[in-house]
Structure 1
Amino acid sequence: MIHRTIFIALGATLFLSGCSEPQPDQSDIAAAAPVTKQLNFPAIYNDYLHRDIRDDIFYFVMPDRFYNANPENDNGAKDLEISQGGYVIDSKWGFHGGDIAGVEAKLDYLKGLGVSAIWMTPILRNKAIQWGGYAHHGYWIVDFTQIDPHFGSNQDLQNLINAAHKKGIKIFFDIITNHTADVIRFEECHTPDGSFKDDETCQYKSMAQVAKGDKYTPFIPKGQDQVKVPAWLNDPKYYNNQGDSFWEGESAVNGDFVGLDDLNTRDPDVITGMIEIYKNIISEFKPDGFRIDTVKHVDMVFWEQFSPAILDHAKSLGIPNFHIFGEVYSGDPVVLSNYTTTGKMPSVLDFGFQQAAADVFYRKKSPQAVAQLYENDDYYNDQDSQADLLMNFLGNHDMGRSGFFIEDALKDIDEAEKLQRSILSHAFMYTSRGVPVIYYGDEQGFTGDGGDVGAREDMFASLVEEYNDNNLLGTDASTAEQNFDPSHPIYQALQDLAQLRMDHPTLRYGVTFNRYFDKRRNAFAISRVDKSEQVEYLIAFNAGNEQQIITVDATSKGYSSLHGSDTFRVDKGKVEIVLPALSYSVLKADTPIMQTALLELDFAGTETQQDRIRFNYVIEQLVDIPVPMFEVTTEFVDAQGHSQKVASDNTPPYTAIVTQSLYQQLQPQSIRVTMSDWQGNTMSQTFSLSQHEQGVTSN
């Protein structure tokens, strides 16, 4: 295919590199053959089993819409009616034929992009057709032991995992614990055959109503009483049976999602049963981790037991770095972090990151949103979780694509700017703390028509008119043709960013420092510094349409340009970066940062925020240190003198944020605050607590 934006893409490359060379004549570029790049993978990218999750670049794919390697399974099961049919290839709601073998067939395409982990939407056997459409997405499970026949067989999945592992690529399953397919009916609003009597909903009944005897009478239509596997899932007693959720209050946890049978995840038998289901999945297939759906709609007591049990089981099978991350659909760090702290999950999808990135790079809002994003990392830094394990993304199958957000917010900009904003936001994702997640098709410029099925286009040639009339970024192609083009400008930009990230561990592990933010300007700068190397990586972005100059205190007498705009100078202890419109710059200091001596810390009291208590600390001398290499650790000390670490913080302003429940559980009488530098020197102070008021008791 011919790209109309080969000129745009190469122009963007020159622009980003800060070169002053004249751009080539367009006719010369049009005649040039596209170049397929080969990435250089460090040795750790061959070792999928022991590789840290922070080393990975994820690709989130919906198998049904990716690639059809086996047309024989397009209509699903041959002998199970509940999992048959739905192959409606010209409807955005139907099954389109993509399968697990199709993901395997494109492993080289993904490896070439720099992908080291693949997360697939659910692939267990579904009820293929129910009220609300077709189960192309995989979220309507009836059998937790078999792969859905639309996507292939258990052996197909094992083949994919084996092939991926040989290439050093991890495989993650999308799993569901909140609900099963819509099978259970209620006598009060359904007829015996399962159809609705009147309105196509069952109004939610509250816990108070149920306690007074005002409840639904559940039943299972004839012939469907044994369709779920394992068998215990067929018993209505394990479900809440309170009618349809209206997405607020208790209904968000206890209600059915548009009829989907909502499990009672407070029930000890349900907790035990779901743990066993997914232990068995791990035992059979040996995946590398789970993404968990609808986490905030499940009772917290479930997560407190589920995540530790799953991680322990994986380790017992020789999977030391099995990783779990949850979907908590909220941009509020207080809500999100509740599941990494109280809920004991290692990580969640960072909807806060998505919101900040969209606001800054697509909606032209103040970069202060990014500064606040990183300051909010303190919510995650408790005794067993940390913010750099968060999963960063720009769009997904529910909310929509990054390309859609660009077109929706900036309707009048030209194609070159749309492409550049996509690349710029991806550069932010690849250089930020956390783990980058590419949504399938974004590397080919997909834009979509909004959220849900509007963002689930086919990578193979599509027959869906609503998809095929979309404008794709960076190309003349449409979704009416296959889109696996390694010469696409976004694909190639992501290759470059993947190589940058792989070549420089600091971009994967480094502590993030806010360096320059001004609410009146579209430019900002952060630093990433690894604790072992202690060399600054200075990363600056300009999300505006005019050149910006950023000046910050230097941590070295010299810097080298690694990527992006290379126009900068170091003079009199300052580094000045010139950023053309819609550009970024990645600089590396030539020498390590000089370690500053430990400083005096004061306890500035506490404040209550929703269900959290924030302990605030003040270090007056920090104002003169551009990148302070300190860690402040907080321990609770009870009346018997027993202590327990509850939080740590690597960046100013230094705080400790703990849940009210943990505070009540440990009942601290004082806090021990230890400041340590990155050379191993420490200094501790103890402060008394009286109704969250401070007072120094010892030094």
Structure 2
Amino acid sequence: MKKRTSIKLLTLSVLLGCLSACDGNEKAAIPHNTALTHYLQRDIQEDSFYFVMPDRFYNGNTENDLGAPVGSISHGGFEPTSKWAFHGGDMAGIEQKLDYLEGMGITAIWMTPILRNKAVQDDGIAHHGYWIVDFTEIDPHFGSNADLKQLIDAAHSRNIKVFFDIITNHTADVIKYEECHQKNGEHLEGRDHCEYRTLAEVKEKGTLTPFITADEESVKSPEWLNDTRYYHNQGDTSFQGENSLFGDFNGLDDINTEHPDVVSGMIDIYKNLITEFKPDGFRIDTVRHVQLPFWQAFSPAIMAHAHKEGIPKFHIFGEVYDASPKALSLYTTEGKLPAVLDFGFQDAARHVFFDNSKVSKLASLIEQDNLYNDDNSDVTQLLTFLGNHDMGRPGHFINSALSDAPHEEKLQRSILAHAFMYFSRGVPVVYYGDEQGFTGDGNDVDAREDMMPSYVASYNDNDLLGTNATTVDDNFDTKHPIYQAISTFANIRKQLPVLQYGEMKTQLVDNSKQVYTYVRTSDVHGSPLFVAFNASTQKQVVKLDASFAQQKHLFGDARLMEKDGVVQLALPALSFGIFAL
């Protein structure tokens, strides 16, 4: 790769605006030194999340790189040059970087699954943690149960929460079928999957015939998970229609979550984890692949148990991979989950800030916020994000849509999108590495670069945003412009509680100028704020109602102007502003 010898970066004062008042507008200082509420009493709305894949973050203990001893299902898979394999990151590594996270304003850490996995399967290596065989202990690649407790204690001592990523839909691929596997577990000749057997076919001739090879008959824990009666056994899903609920997810053993024994068993599994480790909440994987009655039983039981264990603000959010607020909100209302990951937000922000879609897409999203509100949850509890380990990174989306754009523009688009995430409704989630300008080459393993020095060639040739560094380097640079921007945004959000709790109402949508403005209001969390974004690469000026003349500039590069009784808002290219009403 040809390395840039210099990068002309816009100064932070231009990118970020002012922490208090700026010349040219009425002055209104942002309050400082607002104390962060203790983690046990802190509402989820007050948090700023960091989503981290432990294996790709930092190797704090090289002695656990190979996982369990030779012969264990959880041994092996360590190969730092392969993007599919384990790279050595662990609990000790996260603990050693808590200063870095705290400096960015992070108040909650969400880790990909850390329970013990089947390390190597036919289709890959479990660096991600989603192939669980033992729901009672941490995967040895990441350390021990004691290491996890030490990390949680260390985070809590800094007033930082820790969230577990949990799975109820499936386990690792252990169950085989006579109809499509040989006795040794390999596929029959000419097959590479097990064709799904529909519910109608099951009613007529039963499920596929399950079996487990002798060496894996008792690998799962708790013991009841080794019983094939507790699985659907209908073959592989194509993610269409009914088989999205009943089929094996990429060959993973699909648990029969309609069975009452499974419901109670899964509730017990996660109650026990709460009792032992005292996490602050759960992110739930593959929620839409499990039927609603399970969530209606699971979520209230888990929340009640957490409260009993002295975690009154325990929070749950589910992964429903769908951008439709109507589809997402079904799980927070009828499904009784407190919140979900806001894929609708990600979709709208991605298209507006990364590929020039009309700003009305943002307004259309916000118009549907009331769908999430019921007696025990609302839209401010959703987790908002710009990219993740499955779909890819903001840097990749920008490079894909605007490959010829100047480097400075790409950097500023990333910062602007993060500003929108921090200053709109919902709880912001930063995907690890985005704060260091990581770009990636796509989704899945192509978006899972190492923060520690990388040995993966396809990672190391990437052109990162805002830096001359590559992933060959150790990427914990607290002076990186995106890191500094996020740190500033987190501080502003903390100082202005209306940005955490306030309702969001669209004020102006100008698709021709790519200007979107809104107001955040709350009856109990401070005075209203007016927020404006310019998603275009040109300076824009828009007229405002005369009532906006007395607004006081708080933050950002936008400015108010009044001449001959006409109030105008001036926004430099790819900029924003926050004003007190």
Q: TM-score scaled by structure 1?
A: 0.79
Counterpart-to-counterpart distance in 2, 1:345 and 1:494 = 28
Corresponding position of 1:692: none
Corresponding position of 1:83: 74
Q: Is residue 428 from structure 1 mapped to residue 429 from structure 2 by the alignment?
A: no
Q: Is the contact between residue 5 and residue 416 of structure 1 (CA under 8 Å) also seen in structure 2?
A: no
Please report how far the alpha carbon of residue 334 of structure 1 lies from its aligned counterpart in structure 2 after TM superposition. Answer: 1.1
Against the structure 1 CA distance between its residues 572 and 204, is the aligned structure 2 distance closer, same or farther, given a 3 Å change threshold? Answer: farther
Corresponding position of 1:25: none
Counterpart-to-counterpart distance in 2, 1:447 and 1:548 = 29
Q: Is residue 53 from structure 1 mapped to residue 54 from structure 2 by the alignment?
A: no
Q: 2:172 aligns with which of 178, 181, 185?
A: 181
Corresponding position of 2:59: 68
Q: Is the contact between residue 461 and residue 480 of structure 1 (CA under 8 Å) also seen in structure 2?
A: yes
The answer for unaligned runs of 5 or more in structure 1 is: 22-38, 590-699
Corresponding position of 2:181: 190
Corresponding position of 1:122: 113
Corresponding position of 2:314: 322
Counterpart-to-counterpart distance in 2, 1:446 and 1:424 = 16
Counterpart-to-counterpart distance in 1, 2:533 and 2:401 = 19
Please report how far the alpha carbon of residue 6 of structure 1 lies from its aligned counterpart in structure 2 after TM superposition. Answer: 6.3
Corresponding position of 1:17: 17
Counterpart-to-counterpart distance in 2, 1:125 and 1:586 = 46
Q: Is the contact between residue 241 and residue 262 of structure 1 (CA under 8 Å) also seen in structure 2?
A: yes
Against the structure 1 CA distance between its residues 93 and 15, is the aligned structure 2 distance closer, same or farther, given a 3 Å change threshold? Answer: closer
Counterpart-to-counterpart distance in 1, 2:197 and 2:564 = 69
Counterpart-to-counterpart distance in 1, 2:467 and 2:70 = 43
Corresponding position of 2:204: 212
Is 179-188 or 556-565 further displaced after alignment?
556-565
Q: Deviations over 1:611-650 (max 9, x none)?
A: xxxxxxxxxxxxxxxxxxxxxxxxxxxxxxxxxxxxxxxx
Please report how far the alpha carbon of residue 44 of structure 1 lies from its aligned counterpart in structure 2 after TM superposition. Answer: 2.6
Alpha-carbon RMSD: 1.9
Q: Is residue 390 from structure 1 mapped to residue 378 from structure 2 by the alignment?
A: no
Q: Deviations over 1:388-429 (max 9, x none)?
A: 111100000000001100000001101000000000000000
Say which structure, 1 or 2, has more relative contact order (CA 8 Å, 6+ apart): 2
Counterparts of 1:339-378 in structure 2, within 5 Å, are 339-378=331-370
Equivalent residue letter for 1:49? L
Counterpart-to-counterpart distance in 2, 1:520 and 1:251 = 44
Q: 1:407 aligns with which of 393, 399, 412?
A: 399
Q: 2:256 aligns with which of 249, 260, 264?
A: 264
Corresponding position of 2:96: 105
Please report how far the alpha carbon of residue 132 of structure 1 lies from its aligned counterpart in structure 2 after TM superposition. Answer: 1.0
Equivalent residue letter for 1:467? Y
Counterpart-to-counterpart distance in 1, 2:424 and 2:92 = 33
Counterparts of 1:108-507 in structure 2, within 5 Å, are 108-198=99-189, 199-507=191-499
Corresponding position of 1:626: none
Q: 1:578 aligns with which of 560, 570, 574?
A: 570
Counterpart-to-counterpart distance in 2, 1:96 and 1:9 = 35
Please report how far the alpha carbon of residue 343 of structure 1 lies from its aligned counterpart in structure 2 after TM superposition. Answer: 0.6
Counterpart-to-counterpart distance in 2, 1:112 and 1:534 = 26
Q: Deviations over 1:467-503 (max 9, x none)?
A: 0001100001000111000000100111111111111
Is 103-112 or 521-530 further displaced after alignment?
521-530
Q: Is the contact between residue 496 and residue 526 of structure 2 (CA under 8 Å) also seen in structure 1?
A: no
Q: Which is greater in Rg?
A: 1
Q: Deviations over 1:158-178 (max 9, x none)?
A: 000000000000000000000
Please report how far the alpha carbon of residue 3 of structure 1 lies from its aligned counterpart in structure 2 after TM superposition. Answer: 9.0
Equivalent residue letter for 2:113? P
Q: Is the contact between residue 387 and residue 434 of structure 1 (CA under 8 Å) also seen in structure 2?
A: yes
Against the structure 1 CA distance between its residues 216 and 566, is the aligned structure 2 distance closer, same or farther, given a 3 Å change threshold? Answer: closer
Q: Is the contact between residue 9 and residue 489 of structure 1 (CA under 8 Å) also seen in structure 2?
A: no
Secondary structure at the aligned position of 2:316 is classed as: strand
Q: Deviations over 1:534-569 (max 9, x none)?
A: 622111111101111133335565222211114213
Equivalent residue letter for 2:163? F
Against the structure 1 CA distance between its residues 206 and 41, is the aligned structure 2 distance closer, same or farther, given a 3 Å change threshold? Answer: farther
Is 138-147 or 556-565 further displaced after alignment?
556-565
Equivalent residue letter for 2:311? I
In the comparison of the two structures, how many residue pairs are matched?
Answer: 569
Q: Is the contact between residue 50 and residue 110 of structure 2 (CA under 8 Å) also seen in structure 1?
A: yes
Is 156-165 or 525-534 further displaced after alignment?
525-534
Q: Deviations over 1:70-119 (max 9, x none)?
A: 00000000165100000011000000000011000000100000000000
Q: TM-score scaled by structure 2?
A: 0.95
Q: Deviations over 1:206-230 (max 9, x none)?
A: 0000000153100000121100000
Counterpart-to-counterpart distance in 1, 2:547 and 2:422 = 23
Counterpart-to-counterpart distance in 1, 2:39 and 2:555 = 27
Please report how far the alpha carbon of residue 529 of structure 1 lies from its aligned counterpart in structure 2 after TM superposition. Answer: 1.3
Against the structure 1 CA distance between its residues 572 and 284, is the aligned structure 2 distance closer, same or farther, given a 3 Å change threshold? Answer: farther
The answer for unaligned runs of 5 or more in structure 2 is: 24-30
Please report how far the alpha carbon of residue 378 of structure 1 lies from its aligned counterpart in structure 2 after TM superposition. Answer: 1.5
Counterpart-to-counterpart distance in 2, 1:70 and 1:16 = 38
Secondary structure at the aligned position of 2:373 is classed as: coil
Counterpart-to-counterpart distance in 2, 1:554 and 1:240 = 63
Equivalent residue letter for 1:8? L
- Greater strand share, structure number: 1
* Identical residues among aligned pairs (%): 55
Counterpart-to-counterpart distance in 1, 2:76 and 2:260 = 36
